[in-house]
Chain A
Amino acid sequence: MKPLAIVVFALFAVSMNAGVCEAAIQGRTGTEFDLVARAGHITTGDGDSILMWGYAVGNGLMQYPGPTLIVNEGDLITVRLKNELSEPVSIIFPGQDGVLAIGGNSGLLTREAPPDGATVVTYTFVASQPGTYMYHSGTRVDFQVEMGLTGALIVRPSSGANRAYSHPQTSFDREYLFVLSEIDPTIHELVELGRRSEVDMSRYFPVLWFLNGRTSPDTMADDGAPWLPHQPYGCLPRLHPGEIILTRVIGGGRDLHPFHPHGNHLRIIGENGRLLESAPGAGPDLSYSDFTLTVVPGSTYDALFTWTGEKLGWDIYGHGPGDPLQPNEYAPDHGKPLPVQLPEKQNLMFGNHYSGSPFLGAFGDLPPGTGGMNASGGLFFMWHSHTEKEIVNNDIFPGGMMTMLIVEPPAVRIP
């Protein structure tokens, strides 16, 4: 691990002690949204500061990705856009039918807001189908999405809370968003230096990779972490054993990414805002399980994930035979000892997310200076791009498109 990464990890540790994590997807709810395209600088795990263009809410800061718009099925949605950048921008809503654009100037894909900071373009559509979507600029899409003009759109079904789609088999206990993207900083540097005309997208070579607009380890910091004012969305999924989380995954850049959830398989129940079902009302009967999800640019995926530690052949809680069962514990393994002896401490290198114990909710003896990022005795599982060159921040390992999922002991409250 490089010294810089250590510093960043240390910052993260401080934040975790003081912080409040949020289990719900952060975003803006409602039916009317006022967005302004403006510029700002994001920070990346290699210590860089990069000019981005993004959608801000009203007078707020530019943010990357743009505000997650969370709406309800059947609602008439209105998005008003103003533009404080240096060239026309717009918004398109892939997957939404009958988007009406009014105002501004006509563009190739939709009506555009001129860079005057005042003209308003209004986009309206009925959010007719529940699911996970994205929105992004429809102007010079190759360049402007790279600059950051993109965001997530979530349409909740009218049939009930905590469902991905109308069908009850799409129910979840918690949900998390994963917007996968990448950038080539040389493009952003040229824009910042006023050399926009020299940008050549054909020479695109990304070296920074993001989850929800952050590079690891910032992905694991809180939503709204104050030192990331332009990157408000964290990406730290947590669950208790037996709970079901819905992972909403968006291919938000231009490359494919193989997204690998350690810990267990994903069951993919929806793609591109449609339930994987053979007939309306059938439920996710065409859903499938996989240990790595191919995330295609422009596509979205809704997948369910759960974890109990069942059939490990040993008791993940470290129970003795007479101890009571934990909620959702796999009873046949109850009280079974760990089948191997772990090496003595001097034979091991310890990770900072390791509690020192193999058992959920337990702590073990750790050498000084290790284990500092595991406050609860939870089990940490890395969720990351399995194109492993993408879990770096430029040439510094580790970083990039990577975070942790935490299986928390039943007694630990997840907000």
Chain B
Amino acid sequence: MTVSNSTSENLLEVRNLKKYFPIKGGLMRRTVAQVKALDGVSFSIKKGETLGLVGESGCGKTTTGRTVLRLIPPSGGEVLFEGQDVLKASSSRMRTLRRDMQIVFQDPYASLNPRIPVGQSIAEGLTIHNIGTPKERLDQVAQVLDRVGLNSGHMRRFPHEFSGGQRQRIGIARALVMQPKLIVCDEPVSALDVSIQAQVLNLLNDLQKDLGLTYLFIAHNLSVVEHISNRVGVMYLGRMVELASRDQLFRKPMHPYTKALMSAIPLPDPTIKRDRIILEGDVPSPVNPPSGCRFHPRCWLAQDICKHDDPIFEEKEPGHFVACHFAQG
């Protein structure tokens, strides 16, 4: 495998990724408008690290995860996995790539086929790729179940016999059994109760330490992202607005949206009284995103320039990228 210099450290590189969903209308079902779910997003993930993606609904974080795995076709851009373009891979190449790139879903209830015993669900990837004999597959499933804190006796059970947290463990086991290099975690804990959420987060952390996994961790909960990530990207309306190491981002956020997001989170400590930044209005529609900086209609720092000029996503401090005309620490 030829690996160019720039990507030697990066397991995944995403460049200028775009996804437009057409809105069809009229008699001829022509495309009348486009939802710009992703509009030029770039980031990279190093081997063994966790990149967190945060943002509110409609910011494109989930679309990013699915497009990277080619579960939905992109409208433009490049996704390089170990230096190879995933988006241009042939279907046979894609099959092998899929073994290295797995996904864990948000809803542990919807992500398991209710009519298939969980052992078979977990083994599905092995079956599809013809890995091992049926007996070996069984052993692997048993191992991986054990690894996620369940046991092989659970193999013949159906999903409805498990609690939410257990199902999420099964979802993780299904990804894990393929021995992937990258796992996209799409809101893996947001459907779970707090005490169960902590169990799953710890499990994900342990697995990363033991197996050297790389995560793209997508979530709307900043506290969870802060807990699990090495670096964090903040998205707003299909764009990345800030990307930095966890400490840089949470100690010294530079984009006003990041600041607002952080101050909006209610803290479980009644003694802290903060000056809260309350944003006006709602997130605008991604069909007609605002001109210039997409955040300007809700931004308290906005000037004329923000309405006209789209700020460049640039490195304001080493390793700290921000897209804002008035970014400041």
Q: Bound pair: A and B?
A: no
